[in-house]
Structure 1
Amino acid sequence: MSPPLSDEQAAKVERHTDLVRKIARQVARKVAVMSVDELESVGNEALVRSAMRYDPSSRASFATYAHYRVRGAMIDAVRKRTPGRRKQQRALQRLATTQALLSQAAEDQDARRASGHRQTLEQRVETARELVRRAALAVRLSEPDGRLVERAVADEPDPEQLLLDADARSRLWALVDELEPQQHQLIKAIYIHGRTMKELAVELDTSIATISRRHAKILDRLTKRARAQDWSPARP
């Protein structure tokens, strides 16, 4: 049995129950295999664990810390509920990877604020554009390997997939092949083998946050290389 929450931890949980409800509704709209109530139940458990584990000296706010873990717990629950469903698994993968990028961006913003750094309006706009580019690239990577596009479409027609540019996808995977071995392995583990960041963190004996940071840095590197070649997975 877990130890009881302190008064401060209990207050954090109470102040962030609306956050759990909001995330549950967002996830339910994306992947309709669990009800909002079921997702809220999972999220509330994750919120309590977050309150117990949060380090107040951390540069990230509790809201940022809890948001990542609550949504991650919901995605894990949906993943367990839908084993072997290829399309559903890709949707979950997109949720997980784009959520990791959003959480990392929020933590970076919290760190900048804590250090007293203030961005100009132009810098904030460019930061938002870079986040959109990374998220678009993550979606592109979560689709079947560009070298197998025609077969994948024939096997499982998907209107969203048909809208994606097969040529750009192939170029993207060519850039992935040029990555350093460890970076290449991380991208393949997530986007080809369907490994979660939690699973990779356990396997590599590190934290989910570390895997998330590595993932974000690799996507940043890929987007910059794509732009240097005068193409991009998405327009900002």
Structure 2
Amino acid sequence: MHYSEEEKERLIKTFLPRIKHFALRYYHIVQSFLEVDDLISAGVKGLLEALNKYNPNLNVPLPAYIEHRIRGAIIDEIRSVDVFSKEYRKKVENLKKAYKEIKQKGYEPTDEELASKLNISETELSKVFQSITASELISLDDHIEGYNGDKLSILNIISDKTDIFEEIKFKEIRDKLARAIDRLSEQEKLVISLYYYEEMNMKEIAAILGVSLSRVSQIHGRAMVKLKNLLETD
């Protein structure tokens, strides 16, 4: 579809609050290496790309499609900044592997067991869990082909609040995710719910739970490790 410059400007003003909303959600995770303005700029770019690529024949409402593209553009901006060393990535992969190996014994690994298996302190383990939140945004490897050729990730599917995925036959995937989330601890489910469904940022969640920002990131990181394991074994 073709939009005049005036119409594009109007839509940017209309969606700017949503762009800022998504930018702030992710900024609390990536503020050590990106400015919030970088994320806002990426969101505006995603909006303009949505206007160029939108196809009414998809039977997807334009506002929902625009939000999807805004979120995707911001996540792509984060992924474009490779701040993690090979050593760091190895720690994350080793953690996921250790979790899976212990879980196969039929019980939930404790932090003490994971730290022992990895030969690191529980303090260092906590830091790896905290950092997984950012690394998942940058290197999610669970991609699914979406509408219009887009790549969707577990993150996109969890966080989408519309019925788009029902319409494009992702019901089975959403159901599988719902079953996996239901097997998390109550605290982990609360963090996932507040962050992805209620769209709160980490700072807001920390205030609700009465814990530190780093503790929320740690809970989120552990939940993501568990979710990936559950999705692979379900």
Which TM-score band (shorter chain)? 0.3 to 0.5
Bigger relative contact order (CA 8 A; separation at least 6)? 2
User: When the two structures are superposed, what TM-score results if normalisation uses the length of structure 1?
Assistant: 0.46
User: When the two structures are superposed, what TM-score results if normalisation uses the length of structure 2?
Assistant: 0.46
